Structure 1
Amino acid sequence: MKIAAIQMRSGLDPEANFAALVPLLKEAAAQGVEYALTPEVTMIFPENRDQLRSVAAPFDGHPQLGKVGSLAKELGMHIHIGSLPIPLEDGRFANRSVLFGPGGEQVATYDKIHLFDADIAGLNAYRESATYKGGDAAVTAPVGEFTLGFSICYDMRFPRLYNTLANAGANLIAVPAAFTVPTGQAHWHVLLRARAIEAGSYVIAAAQGGNHANGRATYGHSLVIDPWGRIVGELDHDEPGILAVEIDPKAVAEARQRIPALANARDFAKPGLQA
Structure 2
Amino acid sequence: MKDSRRGFTVVEMVVVIVIIGLLVAVAIPVVSNQLEKVQANACAGDREAARNLVAAAIQLDDSFLGSLYDGEPWDTVAGQLRGAGAYLTDISCPSGGTFSIEKGDHSVSVVCSKHTGGGDIDIETPSQGLLKDFISYLEAHQGQPNSDNSSMRGKFFEENGNKWPTMTIDGGDGTVYQYEPFFQTNTRDPQNTWLFARVGDGTNLLNSWYVPLVYDPIDDVWYQRVRANGTPDNYSITSFANTQSLHDEVSTSRLWKAVRVTYLK
TM-score range normalised by the length of the shorter chain: under 0.3
TM-score by length of 1: 0.26
Return the structure number with greater helix share: 2
Which one has a bigger Cα radius of gyration?
2
| Higher normalized strand content (fraction of residues) | 1
Please report the TM-score for the alignment, with normalisation by the length of structure 2: 0.27
